[in-house]
Amino acid sequence: MSVSSTSNSSSSAASAALGSALGSTTGSSSLGEPDFLTLLVTQLQNQDPLNPMDDTTFVAQLAQFSSLQELTNLNTGMTNLLTAVQGQEAIGAANFIGKTVTATGSSLEVSGSDVSAAEFTLPSNESDVKVYVTDSSGNVEYTKDLGTQSAGAQTFQWDGTNSNGSKVSDGTYNIAVYATSSSGSTSQIATTVAGTVTGTENNNGTLQLILSDGRTVNFTDVQSVVDTTSSSSS
Task: Name the residue ranges covered by the structural domains of the chain.
Answer: 3-68, 100-233
pLDDT digit of tens for each residue in the chain (234 aa)?
444 444 455 455 555 555 555 555 555 555 566 776 777 777 777 776 666 666 676 667 667 767 767 777 777 777 666 665 656 676 677 888 889 999 999 999 998 888 989 999 999 999 999 999 999 899 999 999 999 999 999 999 999 999 899 999 999 999 999 999 988 899 999 999 998 999 888 888 788 899 988 889 998 899 888 886 655 554
For residue range 143-180, list pLDDT tens digits in order: 999 999 999 999 999 999 998 999 999 999 999 999 99
3-state secondary structure of 190: coil
In eight-state DSSP terms, residue 2 is -
- What's the longest Cα–Cα distance across the chain? 101
For residue range 79-107, list pLDDT tens digits in order: 666 665 656 676 677 888 889 999 999 99
- Tell whether domain 100-233 is in CATH 3.30.470.20: no
pLDDT of residue 192: 94
Cβ atoms of residues 150 and 192 within 8 Å:
no
**What dihedral do alpha carbons 86, 90, 95, 101 form, nearest 10°?**
90
Nearest Cα to Cα of residue 96 among 215, 195, 213? 195
In eight-state DSSP terms, residue 113 is T
